[in-house]
């Protein structure tokens, strides 16, 4: 029997949970839910050059920055990853994440597939999670319901999403997958429960 209580926190390395998904699969909603449920999870906010919408607040949904500021961060290596989506640029600031890791906080963020790969290169304790709808028919319906774009644009997004899912599932079968878990978001409450179960399991892992 151990005579002294072990300080397991001294051995723990904070995790970075990165959620990726096709458009309209619900990854951002799941990130917010996890951060609300667990005080030791910090939701990392991305920076973007797109215009702020009326309901949004700087530092909550995004850090809204100018193109010049984004260029400066990119050139100085302040962004861990960046991408361009529909003429706007998005990126993950490095310093807030490093600060939270030093504080022992787990981090959750939603990125695209390239972002998952970038985070895994930057931080070895990164967990890739892919969120999918229950079917392609459901994905099509969600894209139509949430978009004000033309039918051609919706078809383009659906085609990209289908191709991405194929890429991810082919990668899962490889020797070094960048996605570690898949969550099917059919019922939001169940999907949140699945995400929290993944987080708990990763906190208990010793193999890494």
- Please give the domain boundaries of the chain with CATH numbers for all domains: 12-204 (3.40.50.300)
Q: Are the C-beta atoms of residues 39 and 149 closer than 8 Å to each other?
A: no
pLDDT confidence of 143, banded at 50, 70, 90?
Answer: confident
Angle in degrees, CA 133, 139, 142, rounded to 5: 110
- β 181-184/126-132 pair status: parallel
Which pLDDT tens digit goes with each residue over 153-198?
888 888 888 888 888 888 888 888 899 999 999 999 999 999 999 9
Q: Is 142's pLDDT higher than 70? A: yes
> Tokens in use for 187?
């019922």
Q: What is the pLDDT of residue 1?
A: 52
Averaged pLDDT of the chain = 89
pLDDT tens-digit series, residues 17-73: 999 998 888 899 999 999 999 999 999 999 999 998 888 889 888 899 999 999 999
């Amino acid at each position: 029997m151990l005579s002294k209580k072990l300080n397991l926190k001294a051995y723990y390395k904070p995790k970075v949970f990165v959620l990726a998904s096709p458009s309209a699969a619900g990854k951002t909603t799941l990130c917010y839910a996890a951060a609300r449920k667990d005080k030791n999870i910090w939701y990392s906010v991305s920076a973007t050059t797109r215009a702020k919408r009326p309901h949004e607040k700087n530092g909550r949904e995004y850090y809204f920055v100018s193109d010049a500021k984004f260029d400066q961060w990119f050139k100085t290596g302040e962004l861990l990853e960046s991408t361009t989506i529909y003429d706007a640029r998005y990126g993950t600031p490095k310093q807030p994440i490093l600060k939270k890791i030093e504080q022992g906080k787990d981090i959750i963020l939603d990125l695209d597939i390239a972002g998952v790969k970038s985070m895994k290169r930057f931080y070895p304790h990164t967990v890739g999670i892919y969120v999918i709808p229950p079917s392609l028919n459901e994905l099509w319906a969600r894209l139509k319901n949430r978009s004000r774009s033309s039918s051609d644009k919706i078809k383009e997004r659906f085609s990209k999403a289908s191709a991405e899912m194929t890429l991810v599932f082919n990668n899962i079968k490889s020797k070094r997958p960048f996605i570690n878990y898949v969550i099917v978001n059919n019922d939001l409450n169940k999907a949140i429960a699945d995400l929290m179960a993944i987080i708990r399991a990763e906190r208990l892992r010793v193999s890494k």
